[in-house]
């Protein structure tokens, strides 16, 4: 069934998204009255070249072959990416770009709209949004990042606009670059970068970008349009071959990310940059707008009412846009923090740049350009045929045979803190699964330090012997796999129910008293902890030291001090949980004091040759909490006291946190600490594929990758990763009884997805 009610349609904004939506809507129903309002003249355009992906072009081809054919005639195509860093150029091929001039794209869409009978009103401001909504069945707001339609209904759409830290300007060169070129120049004022690509046989887009403070120091704030273009041409003379740059109303600007809580209101719907923006470094703005138009047109045909159609459009597009915005944010932040990576060897720097958004990964880069990827692996130190994840890594006296860590996962299956057969099978199975390091759950240093009645401890001799049974099994049956213990105390998050009975919910009965840095309950209905006195702090230090001594006797190869997730030591570090006015509260140095005292006490009894790591929450995901800058300070302090690695997690410190979830979403914090502090790091958080692990390690964003849920889904995750990559080297070993399963089973093939909207000729 189709939406018969949308007979008169107003499109506000004559950019590619608005024009293409108008053409599709008119083509689907020629009896519709479709009108586009555009404030600029038909030959006005800003920017120069537009990049479209093969995926987007495929959607256009099926929905409107005439537009696709016209685009095909004008596309400039290329495969290579050049990355120039400190005088060295590396080229990666096989990427497959297509671009054309923005003016040409608009001309094609103008012609198509005229052919179909769309009304185009140029040099004309659109009527008031409320008036359009009354006089038309549907209003498509495609009026860009500064959308007046969006602002008119801001209380409904609830937009969030975030400005970022770089200035950039769109320019052009009157020759065709032979590749998509990234060039990095280190000037006396700071780092500047060029993003350039051809869009015609005799023209290239050139975007120059730099941090705000570099832009000001270089004096660009005082330059007019012509002076800016001339100065940029001189700075990037090598890339341009000494040729000039031209401008077209080119102003330095700051990129703004637009996110809306809602995309429609009544019969008004947002499309393209009015609804969402994504940084130009992944070439996504026009692509997203065109794909929005395709989806909106399809949903209007498929749904029985306008309301259902607009809801379906948003439901379909929102996850895609959110994923693209996460990738764009990662790319944007990579370029904002470009100076962090300048010390990397040129080829690793190039690999890091290519994989910055996490859309391009080690595996698909290998498919695109085997030569480049293998060269990057050789320079990293990978033996022939060895993926990065299967290279060894040394921490103090312990050499891990690969870079995979089974992350600590609370199992809530102990009785009186005693690990039993469940823990033997759980940890033993994952050790047999091939990971370089298997970590226990948080093992508590006292009965009162447990999170739940089902949490394990190591505060008695019997518990120590039970843990020894597990470490003996791992060392005997999974030789080459190390096993580590994570020591912690629940603090204000203790005395709660088992996870599946109500996570962080207080026990109905059998509660024990809680202690914490300050008298602040985790949730309003949680038990209020007592603020620790000086004497109690001394007792707690001894509990941690005693537990570490027992852990050494139990045979653990590595010890991790849990200073994350809002538990006791984390509660001292976070300003949201620590409101003390004594020497253990206030400034970051003071908030660090007790966790560092505990660390020193543990290090004093932990065997010298065995590594000691620290897990931290690098952000609280809440206003007023731990910041990334704080995280660097925390990591630097622990490293100065002898921490061998920092396990970088985030959040779970306050109940009202707002995490920014997504694939590998915590890795940027590990990346930050690794490069700012120079200490080895363990990355965690939604790392789910061996391709992600290879990518993160080869790019130099982390040293080890810890995975939790994937190891619950598949205890033999690492062995299977080796089998799927055809790796049979020393970094993994199939247990003799399992060798018959070391080949990947065959699978059937599925049908490719059908095009989103297919209208024929």
DSSP assignment string, 721-739 = HHHHTT--STT----GGGG
Give the integer Cα–Cα distance in Å for 540 and 459.
Answer: 12
Torsion over CA: 631, 637, 638, 640 (sign):
positive
Match 């869009």 to its residue by tokens: 199
Read off the pLDDT of residues 50-59 as tens digits, 9 standing for 90 and up.
Answer: 887 777 777 7
Average pLDDT of the segment spanning 295-300:
96
The answer to whether 301 touches 69, Cβ cutoff 8 Å, is no
Which residues of the chain are in CATH 3.50.50.60 domains?
A: 8-336
Mean pLDDT for all residues in the chain = 94
User: What letter does residue 281 receive in the DSSP assignment?
Assistant: G
The answer to whether residue 166 scores a pLDDT higher than 80 is yes
Residues in contact with 55: Cβ distance below 8 Å, sequence separation at least 6, in sequence order: none
Read off the pLDDT of residues 450-468 as tens digits, 9 standing for 90 and up.
Answer: 999 999 999 999 999 999 9
The answer to whether 321 touches 288, Cβ cutoff 8 Å, is yes
Residues in contact with 423: Cβ distance below 8 Å, sequence separation at least 6, in sequence order: 411, 413, 414, 440, 456, 466, 470
φ/ψ of 673, rounded to 5, equals -65, -40
Give the integer Cα–Cα distance in Å for 656 and 79.
Answer: 46
pTM equals 0.91
DSSP-based three-state secondary structure for 279: coil
Of 143, 366, 354, 404, residue with least CA distance to 268: 143
Average pLDDT of the segment spanning 14-28:
95
Give the integer Cα–Cα distance in Å for 536 and 239.
Answer: 64
- For strand 203-211 and strand 159-173, is the pairing parallel, antiparallel, or unpaired? antiparallel
Read off the pLDDT of residues 661-686 as tens digits, 9 standing for 90 and up.
Answer: 888 999 999 999 999 999 999 999 99
Residues in contact with 248: Cβ distance below 8 Å, sequence separation at least 6, in sequence order: 45, 46, 47, 48, 170, 172
Read off the pLDDT of residues 96-142 as tens digits, 9 standing for 90 and up.
Answer: 888 999 999 999 999 999 999 999 999 999 999 999 999 999 999 99
Average pLDDT of the segment spanning 40-66:
80
Instruction: Decide if domain 8-336 falls under CATH 3.50.50.60.
Output: yes
User: What letter does residue 79 receive in the DSSP assignment?
Assistant: -
Give the integer Cα–Cα distance in Å for 542 and 537.
Answer: 9
Of 703, 695, 696, residue with least CA distance to 405: 703
Alpha carbons within 13 A on the beta-carbon side of 494:
30
Average pLDDT of the segment spanning 154-176:
96
Give me the residues paired with residue 561 across strands: 487, 614
Element (H, E) at 376: helix 370-380
Residues in contact with 409: Cβ distance below 8 Å, sequence separation at least 6, in sequence order: 441, 708, 711, 712
Give the integer Cα–Cα distance in Å for 734 and 757.
Answer: 48
User: What letter does residue 418 receive in the DSSP assignment?
Assistant: B
Read off the pLDDT of residues 459-515 as tens digits, 9 standing for 90 and up.
Answer: 999 999 999 999 999 999 999 999 999 999 999 999 999 999 999 999 999 999 999
Which residues of the chain are in CATH 3.20.20.70 domains?
A: 405-725
Q: How far from 481 is each of 138, 403, 421, CA to CA, in Å?
A: 62, 11, 20
Continuous H helices in 442-533: 461-477, 499-502
- In this prediction, residue 63 has a pLDDT band, given cuts at 50, 70 and 90, of confident
Structure tokens at 548: 């570490």
Match 């404030």 to its residue by tokens: 39
The answer to whether 670 touches 683, Cβ cutoff 8 Å, is yes
DSSP assignment string, 605-628 = HS-TTS-EEEEEES--SSTTS--H
CA-based diameter of the chain, in Å?
Answer: 85
The set of catalytic residues is 567
DSSP-based three-state secondary structure for 611: coil
Give the integer Cα–Cα distance in Å for 667 and 700.
Answer: 11
Identify the pLDDT of residue 760: 53
Residues in contact with 40: Cβ distance below 8 Å, sequence separation at least 6, in sequence order: 14, 122, 123
Read off the pLDDT of residues 582-595 as tens digits, 9 standing for 90 and up.
Answer: 999 999 999 999 99
Identify the pLDDT of residue 5: 65
The answer to whether residue 609 scores a pLDDT higher than 50 is yes
Average pLDDT of the segment spanning 594-622:
98
Read off the pLDDT of residues 222-234 as tens digits, 9 standing for 90 and up.
Answer: 999 999 999 999 9
Structure tokens at 382: 């990978």
Identify the pLDDT of residue 758: 62
The answer to whether residue 240 scores a pLDDT higher than 90 is yes
Give the integer Cα–Cα distance in Å for 573 and 529.
Answer: 17
Of 647, 649, 711, 710, residue with least CA distance to 682: 647
Alpha carbons within 13 A on the beta-carbon side of 679:
28
- For strand 138-141 and strand 268-270, is the pairing parallel, antiparallel, or unpaired? parallel
φ/ψ of 150, rounded to 5, equals -60, -45
The answer to whether residue 300 scores a pLDDT higher than 60 is yes
Average pLDDT of the segment spanning 409-438:
96
Of 197, 238, 196, residue with least CA distance to 88: 238
Cβ burial, residue 452 (10 Å; 0-12/13-18/19+) = buried
Give the integer Cα–Cα distance in Å for 320 and 322.
Answer: 5
Identify the pLDDT of residue 1: 42
Return the CATH fold of 405-725: TIM Barrel (3.20.20)
Identify the pLDDT of residue 749: 57
Identify the pLDDT of residue 54: 74
Average pLDDT of the segment spanning 691-696:
97
The answer to whether residue 39 scores a pLDDT higher than 90 is yes
Torsion over CA: 195, 198, 202, 203 (sign):
negative
Give the integer Cα–Cα distance in Å for 276 and 257.
Answer: 7
Read off the pLDDT of residues 712-738 as tens digits, 9 standing for 90 and up.
Answer: 999 999 999 999 999 999 999 888 888
Structure tokens at 756: 């989103």
- In this prediction, residue 741 has a pLDDT band, given cuts at 50, 70 and 90, of confident
Element (H, E) at 35: strand 33-37
């Amino acid at each position: 069934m189709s939406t018969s009610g949308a007979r008169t349609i107003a499109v506000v904004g004559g950019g590619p998204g608005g024009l293409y939506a108008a053409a599709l809507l008119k083509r689907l129903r020629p009896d519709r009255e479709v009108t586009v309002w555009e404030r600029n003249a038909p030959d006005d355009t800003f920017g120069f070249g537009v990049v479209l992906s093969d995926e987007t072009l495929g959607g256009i081809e099926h929905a409107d072959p005439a537009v696709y054919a016209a685009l095909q005639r004008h596309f400039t195509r290329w495969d290579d990416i050049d990355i120039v860093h400190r005088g060295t150029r590396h080229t990666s091929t096989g990427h497959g770009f297509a671009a054309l001039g923005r003016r040409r794209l608009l001309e094609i869409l103008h012609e198509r709209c005229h052919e179909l009978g769309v009304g185009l009103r140029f040099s004309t401001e659109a009527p008031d949004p409320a008036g359009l909504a009354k006089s038309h069945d549907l209003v498509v707001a495609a009026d860009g990042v500064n959308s007046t339609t969006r602002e008119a209904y801001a209380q409904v759409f609830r937009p969030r606009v975030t400005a970022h830290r770089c200035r950039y300007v769109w320019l052009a060169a009157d020759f065709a670059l032979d590749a998509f070129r990234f060039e990095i120049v280190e000037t006396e004022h700071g780092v500047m970068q060029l993003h350039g690509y051809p869009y015609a046989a005799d023209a290239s887009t050139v975007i120059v970008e730099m941090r705000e403070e570099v832009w000001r120091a270089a004096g660009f704030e005082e330059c007019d349009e012509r002076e800016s273009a001339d100065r940029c041409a001189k700075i990037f003379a090598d890339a341009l071959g000494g040729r000039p740059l031209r401008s077209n109303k080119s102003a330095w600007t700051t990129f703004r990310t637009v996110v809306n809580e809602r995309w429609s209101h009544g019969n008004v719907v947002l499309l393209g940059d009015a609804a969402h923006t994504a940084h130009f470094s992944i070439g996504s703005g026009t692509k997203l707008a065109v794909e929005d138009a395709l989806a909106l047109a399809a949903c209007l045909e498929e749904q029985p009412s306008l309301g259902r159609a607009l809801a379906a459009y948003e439901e379909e597009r929102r996850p895609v846009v959110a994923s693209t915005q996460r990738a764009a944010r990662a790319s944007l932040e990579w370029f904002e923090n470009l100076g962090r990576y300048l010390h990397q060897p040129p080829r690793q720097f190039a690999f890091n740049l290519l994989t910055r958004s996490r859309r391009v990964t080690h595996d698909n880069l290998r498919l695109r350009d085997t030569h480049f990827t293998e060269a990057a692996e050789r320079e990293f130190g990978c033996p022939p045929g060895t993926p990065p994840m299967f290279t060894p890594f040394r921490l103090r006296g312990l050499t891990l045979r690969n870079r995979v860590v089974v992350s600590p996962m609370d199992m809530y299956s102990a009785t009186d803190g005693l690990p039993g057969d469940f823990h033997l099978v759980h940890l033993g199975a994952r050790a047999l699964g091939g990971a370089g390091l298997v970590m226990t759950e948080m093992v508590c240093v006292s009965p009162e330090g447990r999170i739940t009645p089902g949490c394990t401890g190591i505060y008695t001799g019997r518990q120590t012997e039970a843990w020894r049974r597990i470490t003996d099994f791992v060392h005997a049956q999974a030789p080459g796999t190390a096993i580590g213990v994570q020591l912690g105390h629940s603090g204000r998050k203790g005395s709660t129910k088992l996870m599946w009975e109500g996570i962080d919910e207080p026990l109905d009965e059998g509660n024990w008293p809680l202690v914490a840095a300050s008298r602040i309950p985790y949730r309003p209905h949680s038990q209020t902890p007592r603020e620790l006195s000086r004497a109690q702090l001394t007792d707690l230090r001894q509990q941690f030291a005693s537990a570490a001594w027992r852990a050494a006797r139990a045979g653990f190869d590595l010890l991790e001090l849990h200073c994350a997730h809002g538990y006791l030591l984390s509660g001292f570090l976070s300003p949201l949980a620590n409101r003390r006015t004594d020497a253990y509260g206030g400034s970051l140095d003071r908030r660090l004091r007790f966790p560092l005292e505990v660390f020193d006490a543990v290090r004093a009894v932990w065997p010298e040759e065995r590594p000691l790591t620290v897990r931290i929450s690098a952000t609280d995901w809440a206003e007023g909490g731990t910041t990334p800058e704080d995280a660097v300070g925390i990591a630097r302090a622990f490293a100065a006291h002898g921490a061998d690695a920092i396990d970088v997690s985030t959040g779970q410190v306050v109940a009202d946190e707002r995490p920014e979830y997504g694939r590998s979403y915590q890795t940027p914090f590990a990346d930050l600490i690794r490069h700012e502090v120079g200490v080895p790091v363990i990355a965690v958080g939604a790392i789910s594929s061996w391709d992600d692990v290879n990518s993160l390690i080869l790019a130099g964003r982390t040293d080890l990758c810890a995975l939790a849920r994937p190891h619950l889904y598949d205890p033999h995750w690492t062995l299977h990763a080796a089998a799927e990559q055809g790796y049979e080297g020393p970094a993994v070993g199939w247990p003799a009884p399992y060798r018959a399963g070391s080949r990947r089973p065959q699978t059937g093939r599925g049908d490719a997805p059908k095009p989103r909207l297919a209208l024929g000729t």
